[in-house]
Structure 1
Amino acid sequence: MPLFSENRSDGVWGTFAISDHAATKSGRVGTLVVPHGESGPNRTTLVRELAGGMAREIVGIVRESSTLTHLRVEILPDQRIASGQVLVIPFAGELVYFQVTGIETSEEPFGGLHYGSQIATAVQIGVLRDDHFRRFDYLPPMNALAYLAESPSIEQKTQGLFPLGGVPGTGVTLYGSFLDQLESHTALLGATGTGKTEFAFDLIRYAVKNGVKVICIDLTSQYAPRLADMSPTALSISEKKASDLGARLFDVETGSYGAGAEKKVLSEFAKTLRTEARAALEAFYAMDGGALGLIELTEISNTKATLWITEIYLSTLLELAKEGATSKQKTLVVVEEAHTVMPEAAFAGLGDFDSKGTIAKITQIALQGRKYGVGLLVLAQRTATVSKSVLTQCNTVISFSCIDDTSINFLKNVFGSAVADGLPSLPRLRAVADGSWIQAELPVAFDVPFDQEKADRKGWASQLGAGQVSHASEDLDQADATPPF
């Protein structure tokens, strides 16, 4: 079966795959003999026999300089392979899966001429056992054939698992035990428009449906209208009180030396906010089953006020967790635009020690929550501006396309260089996942299923009807309360 060919002055030179159906005649090197009366198998049949019935089409052959972590495959001239495509190599009755991370051209001298080819670099996903991609310590030999996989004959177990998406070209769906390891923290990264927020919405819906209390800190105005069908509970303080907090913070900054009087006023005002936040959270946890709560900070222009409010709610939540008020249910805290409320100190834009102390406290509270059944879902566009203390404690990382060097360099420590270098070329709705609750021992790229209903959804604010956001506490000042839109 011909794989490659090269026109030369002395004829056409080719590379062939030879099966047991053909035999070389003694003394006639290069002559293939098919037994008399037999027409031999066609290409499709031969491919299936070569692959043991586990693959459907030959893509290329393994080249030199391959390693356990980086496989180099010379692609057949008639094949078109893209980043993220999965290749398989049969071995000992199993399929070893490899995912393409990059493609380059190569040239080598060939009898006075130069032969050009395309070389794909692929990283190992592993073998599919017990619905998991397991690491496989095997390096295919030189000239081993690489194939496109058939859809697996195994029936995947899906009960209690979250479907992330399909692994490209395999027919395999990547699942994860998100609820079982909610407290291990998850980072969701990617540039604007790549699909990370929509994916976060899917995780939120899944968590609430399965009895989890989800609290979202939202600075984008997206969550209330997009999740209106879930009847979210408004946990935010009123716009007036947020404005008052900003004014008191300003008084402390501009007061006399030490600002003793101003700090006393601020401290008393903060106590009333903590009381209000506690009442709202207690009412929220008194609700049966899973529920969605929103803390919207979109109207707060003062960065310090944003940090203060975030710290008040997170510290109050941690107090309730320590007291056992949240022990009956797991809690997921979703932080949108994490660089605003959990910033890296160098990028916070705040030079005073009080603000840096507030940032450190927010980070500490977020990480301590795992002891009390509180998990964290962090969304960010750039890792450079988010606290590394938080990101490094996220045991699962899911990244959509990233184009900035700082994010790619950070993700090299998570996914490895070969995978991280391919992140800028990921198409929309394709992501790479690795971590404790993903059913794979190595990083895997997957495609989030396209949803036309989501694509057609526009005018989010106009979709929000009266009464769709309820207030958790009757103690909220109704005169000060402001609807989310």
Structure 2
Amino acid sequence: MATPRRRRSAQRLENLGVIQWEDTWAQGAVSATDVIGERPDVTVLDLGGFDRHEQQLAVALAVLEDLWRRRGERRPVLLVVDEAHNLCPPTAETPLGAAVLERLVQIAAEGRKFGIWLLVSTQRPGKVHPGVVSQCDNVAVMRMNSRADLDELSEMFGFVPRELLRRSTHFAQGEALLAGGFVSYPSIVRVRPRVTLEGGIDVPVPMDPPA
């Protein structure tokens, strides 16, 4: 029976256009949380494929909440967030964004004792919430072109020598600066050429406008 509260909720969902997010909901198929719950070797969620930022946040929140709900199982998982400033900016602009940010900050602070490890990737570390950045015990720095960004990194991660950070402006492809607990001492490394077949290629972008 449809109670007044349920009718108000349904009306709210319709007004927000959530019902039209057909490519967001599992709709009887296997959900992303169910897939991740089986702990396959790798699961990739392409949040950039959604048209609306709210959809990205909704999927991210569902996954984060499910991982946190299952934390007592203590099954190790590495959670990788690419373009991290999109999910954990310094300030959330919406309640949905605030919920995602709150959970990410909590996972960054407490997740390790439950086997939930967080890796964040961004070109602008200054645009990532300090509650996440402050929990980073390991840092991998690739080529950095902005002196301002280097100054920010130096302030955020005092264990990274400034002299080595400055050298990152001249890094070639495959070079990186590693610092933190996962190396004996801050080091500049070079990644060897891949030995496996590449599974995909960049999507070609036409440079000239169509005739």
TM-score normalised to the size of structure 2?
A: 0.71
Give the Cα–Cα distance (whole angstroms) in 2 for the partners of residues 307 and 294 of structure 1: 15
Residue 376 of structure 1, CA deviation? 1.1
Confirm or deny: 8 A CA contact 1:277 1:316 kept in the other structure. no
Query: Paired residue for 1:123?
Result: none
Give the one of 66, 79, 82 matched to 1:333. 79
Please state whether the residue corresponding to 1:363 is helix, strand or coil. helix
Deviations 1:404-433 (A, max 9, x none): 234311221321322222221122211111
Query: Paired residue for 1:417?
Result: 162
Query: Paired residue for 2:179?
Result: 434
Q: Quickly say closer, same or farther: Cα 1:276–1:363, change in 2 above 3 A.
A: farther
Q: Quickly say closer, same or farther: Cα 1:412–1:278, change in 2 above 3 A.
A: farther
Give the one of 174, 188, 193 matched to 1:450. 193
Residue 459 of structure 1, CA deviation? 3.5
Give the Cα–Cα distance (whole angstroms) in 2 for the partners of residues 447 and 337 of structure 1: 23
TM-score normalised to the size of structure 1?
A: 0.34
Q: Quickly say closer, same or farther: Cα 1:408–1:275, change in 2 above 3 A.
A: farther
Provide runs of 4+ in structure 1 moved above 4 Å: 263-266, 272-280
Residue 297 of structure 1, CA deviation? 1.5
Structure 2 residue 38 is the aligned partner of structure 1 residue 281:
no
Residue 378 of structure 1, CA deviation? 1.2
Give the Cα–Cα distance (whole angstroms) in 2 for the partners of residues 282 and 458 of structure 1: 26
Question: What are the ranges of 5 or more consecutive residues in structure 1 without an aligned counterpart?
Answer: 1-258, 462-485
Give the Cα–Cα distance (whole angstroms) in 2 for the partners of residues 312 and 274 of structure 1: 12
Please state whether the residue corresponding to 1:294 is helix, strand or coil. coil
Give the Cα–Cα distance (whole angstroms) in 2 for the partners of residues 359 and 279 of structure 1: 19
Give the Cα–Cα distance (whole angstroms) in 1 for the partners of residues 202 and 102 of structure 2: 34
Residue 396 of structure 1, CA deviation? 0.5
Structure 2 residue 104 is the aligned partner of structure 1 residue 363:
yes
Please state whether the residue corresponding to 1:292 is helix, strand or coil. coil
Confirm or deny: 8 A CA contact 2:79 2:118 kept in the other structure. yes
Give the one of 121, 124, 127 matched to 1:379. 121
Give the one of 302, 308, 312 matched to 2:62. 312
For these two proteins, the number of residue pairs brought into alignment is 188
Residue 342 of structure 1, CA deviation? 1.9
Deviations 1:424-448 (A, max 9, x none): 112221111111122x1x3111111
Q: How does 1:45-444 map to 2 (within 5 A)?
A: 261-262=11-12, 280-282=32-34, 284-286=36-38, 291-322=41-72, 324=73, 327=74, 329-345=75-91, 350=93, 352=94, 354-367=95-108, 368-413=110-155, 414=157, 415-438=160-183, 440=184, 442-444=185-187
Q: Quickly say closer, same or farther: Cα 1:453–1:385, change in 2 above 3 A.
A: same
Q: Quickly say closer, same or farther: Cα 1:273–1:459, change in 2 above 3 A.
A: closer
Deviations 1:184-219 (A, max 9, x none): xxxxxxxxxxxxxxxxxxxxxxxxxxxxxxxxxxxx
Give the Cα–Cα distance (whole angstroms) in 2 for the partners of residues 394 and 276 of structure 1: 38
Query: Paired residue for 2:209?
Result: none
Give the Cα–Cα distance (whole angstroms) in 2 for the partners of residues 425 and 276 of structure 1: 51
Cα RMSD over matched residues?
3.6
Residue 360 of structure 1, CA deviation? 2.9
Q: Quickly say closer, same or farther: Cα 1:363–1:275, change in 2 above 3 A.
A: farther
Query: Paired residue for 1:140?
Result: none
Question: What are the ranges of 5 or more consecutive residues in structure 2 without an aligned counterpart?
Answer: 1-8, 204-211
Letter matched to residue 424 of structure 1: T
Of all paired residues, the percent bearing the same amino acid is 19
Q: Which has the higher contact order (CA 8 A, sep 6+)?
A: 1
Structure number with greater Rg is 1
Residue 303 of structure 1, CA deviation? 1.5
Give the Cα–Cα distance (whole angstroms) in 2 for the partners of residues 281 and 360 of structure 1: 19
Confirm or deny: 8 A CA contact 1:402 1:424 kept in the other structure. yes
Confirm or deny: 8 A CA contact 1:337 1:379 kept in the other structure. yes
Confirm or deny: 8 A CA contact 2:87 2:101 kept in the other structure. no
Query: Paired residue for 1:30?
Result: none
Confirm or deny: 8 A CA contact 2:165 2:177 kept in the other structure. no
